[in-house]
Structure 1
């Protein structure tokens, strides 16, 4: 491969534009899954220009500035980095016999991929909302669609405050995973996650991703999430007729923490039976039994929060139109916690990990693509591939358009002269008539 690259470099030098001049040579190493390729190429500068420099070889083979790995090797690094820390990836590739890379280099290559994919998704989001409304692009129509949202806090390298990664899961309902019908799985789940400057940015991206697959014109959307305002309030602006439900897991956990486990168990059953007012009245009456003012203050704050979102306390199954209740077998919601643990927490919170804002966003987008089974597709994008010098050379070979037979018309008078019968002339004749 180094030989072919060198040949291509010389070919590019021979056919370089007249306005380019060579200012020197530069070396570069590219790590591939089969080994490391060492290349030496010319740096060119445009004449009468101070800062216009170019590597013709890099441009022809699609070798980006600062790039250290080939496209196929990048696939391996990104895939491993979605499961392991960068230091662990460094150890794995070394043990497996691949070209050694430092964890800093692995981090740089993987983060660059994640950042570029994040910008691509951001561009698509802005394109969808240029007219201030959602443009329907998907063709799949569903009577009912389920959304779950949550946030996870990760440690920041830049300050003491933690950063929130917002997560949204959309699915079409449930299927049984086993013939015995003992376990259910989500039907066609899709995840959106990342760092967002505000709630609107998240819901714009989320609705943009959904619109690629679904036409929501006649769809009833149900949202389940904790008490965060970006879930309970902002989402309504993006899904007309949205049914919002406070997540049962969080309700049970919060009531248990502030009022006790037994009370939480009893009131959870009351809430599941649709008795929202009885649930609120009972909690409010229990505030005065708190042993300390601080405990009383915390209980009052929780009850006030539930009163604010009173309509969201009622299970979504009580609020669906009758025609939808009869069409499907419906279950309780609350899967987002598992998705957060599986897709983010295991990778981004282990062993006291901390992240920069850009690094966290890049990894979140990689995990999102992986879950949605689009990571391989994106890694196969032409942008990440280094072109084969063999193919480039093949197409750069110049064709001779003249008469190739002219040189064959030459004559040797000795063959027909007075010595034509001699042995040495006969020998020459045999040679030139091969």
Structure 2
């Protein structure tokens, strides 16, 4: 009974839409506003794919009496801003994009629309026509209510996800998380939650542009006069170090200290490889890194490697791990800073926000589709619901066409100079194939082909 009622409700919804379209079409026809300059050419069928399913209807076509002043049109298409060739409406595109960001394109193609299935390529084409979201600070109540908030310490965590392209190449999707630390302890739940989370990111970002977006968000979101510390944590990648150095220069005018910290997850991972999962040695080093110098750490690691005959790492890998620790030694010591109270949890965020949708399966994306997907996933993580207005704002109306060289044949170039009736000696040749070929070249059909 419930299934039948649900199906009946769907059919009633589609019928009501068709009746509404016909009502508006009849009202305009009876108003006679078109009669002075247009001629009614009768009905033309059209099929639209909406969020509630496929809709078939008829609408009147009006032909202009004077083509220089007016152009032919469908009143219904103009009234509802229906695209000339696309059958998918904007609400259907919105439903497909939202479900794609939550699951995947294949699932969205089969389940986003009522009683209608589209192809995965259709979903991919919709994603490609969306422009990259330039503004990573959506206007939502959570941010605007706490505008210019006063906090003492701010945390910036960064990491990247490696995604596969269709051209058998790998590309990096960068992600940054800004927050103000853990919320107050909830005794009913032992899990810690971050306060004032906000994600920023992009595909293979330019660090100069990326730091501008981070600085712009911090300056608008928080009060620079109250802010004293900004801790930047990550795995020590070059692009993270570059962002850290540039942010220091940006915030130096406000006397804000920018302190870079190495993620404890990557630190422990390297120590486990160096000391063959010797937990006593690893825990000792983690507690006393501030008292141990870089040279002392190298000596401890080398001595352990020489005395450990059954070490799992070969010599080159062992040196790489030790060099990684020594290159980030100052960042490791910053883990003991008295104001650093919230450890980095970026590995979990990169896994839930990007990796679960982009790298968990052996997919190969096109670059345009992947760039749109990254922005949609970041918006979803920022609790921003995609709307039809967003589609209007992000749709690329100016589709830049690649400049293609036009093929110009010589006959059109020299047609005004030479006449086709010029006598040629080759036409008198005894070679039949040659003669037929020359005749075909000087034929009038060749000039207009």
Q: TM class, shorter-chain normalised?
A: 0.5 to 0.7
Partner of 1:194: 202
Change (3 A) 1:275 1:84: same
Equivalent position to 1:38, from 40, 45, 56: 56
Change (3 A) 1:91 1:177: farther
- Cα deviation, residue 87, structure 1: 1.5
Does the aligned pair in 2 maintain the 1:152–1:165 contact within 8 Å?
yes
- Cα deviation, residue 283, structure 1: 3.3
Q: What secondary structure, in the 3-state scheme, does the structure 1 residue paired with 2:54 have?
A: strand
1:103 aligns with 2:120: yes
What is the 5 A alignment of 1:19-418? 28-39=46-57, 42=61, 47-48=67-68, 57-64=76-83, 67-93=86-112, 97-112=114-129, 115-116=130-131, 118-121=132-135, 138-157=147-166, 159-176=167-184, 178-180=186-188, 182-219=190-227, 220-239=229-248, 240=251, 241-262=257-278, 266-267=281-282, 269-275=284-290, 277-278=292-293, 281-287=296-302, 289=305, 295-318=314-337, 325=339, 331-376=341-386, 378-379=387-388, 381=390, 383=392
Mind listing any 5+ residue stretches in structure 2 that lack a counterpart?
Answer: 1-16, 139-145, 252-256, 394-449
Take 1:105 and 1:141, find their aligned partners in 2: how far apart are those partners? 47
Q: What secondary structure, in the 3-state scheme, does the structure 1 residue paired with 2:160 have?
A: strand
Does the aligned pair in 2 maintain the 1:138–1:211 contact within 8 Å?
no
- Cα deviation, residue 150, structure 1: 0.1
Mind listing any 5+ residue stretches in structure 1 that lack a counterpart?
Answer: 126-136, 385-434
- Cα deviation, residue 177, structure 1: 6.4
Under a length normalisation based on structure 2, what TM-score does the superposition of the two structures give?
0.66
Take 1:202 and 1:248, find their aligned partners in 2: how far apart are those partners? 24
- Cα deviation, residue 167, structure 1: 0.7
Q: C-alpha deviations, 1:155-213, integer Å up to 9, x for none?
A: 111x2221111011111111256424522111121111221342223323333344442
Over aligned residue pairs, what C-alpha RMSD do you find? Answer: 3.9
Partner of 1:394: none
Take 2:211 and 2:267, find their aligned partners in 1: how far apart are those partners? 23
User: Could you tell which deviates more after superposition, 57-66 or 163-172?
Assistant: 57-66
- Cα deviation, residue 367, structure 1: 1.0
- Cα deviation, residue 146, structure 1: 0.8
Q: C-alpha deviations, 1:225-244, integer Å up to 9, x for none?
A: 01211112323312423111
Q: What secondary structure, in the 3-state scheme, does the structure 2 residue paired with 1:307 have?
A: helix
Take 2:211 and 2:33, find their aligned partners in 1: how far apart are those partners? 52
Q: What secondary structure, in the 3-state scheme, does the structure 1 residue paired with 2:110 have?
A: helix
Q: What secondary structure, in the 3-state scheme, does the structure 1 residue paired with 2:193 have?
A: strand
User: Could you tell which deviates more after superposition, 29-38 or 332-341?
Assistant: 29-38
Q: What secondary structure, in the 3-state scheme, does the structure 2 residue paired with 1:351 have?
A: coil
- Cα deviation, residue 277, structure 1: 3.7
Does the aligned pair in 1 maintain the 2:110–2:116 contact within 8 Å?
no
Under a length normalisation based on structure 1, what TM-score does the superposition of the two structures give?
0.68
Change (3 A) 1:381 1:80: closer
Does the aligned pair in 1 maintain the 2:201–2:378 contact within 8 Å?
yes
Change (3 A) 1:6 1:228: same
Change (3 A) 1:185 1:280: farther
Q: C-alpha deviations, 1:280-332, integer Å up to 9, x for none?
A: 5223553474689x9433333443344333321213442x5xxxx4xxxx644
- Cα deviation, residue 250, structure 1: 0.8
Does the aligned pair in 1 maintain the 2:261–2:331 contact within 8 Å?
yes
The higher-RCO structure (CA 8 Å, 6+ apart) is: 1
- Cα deviation, residue 154, structure 1: 1.1
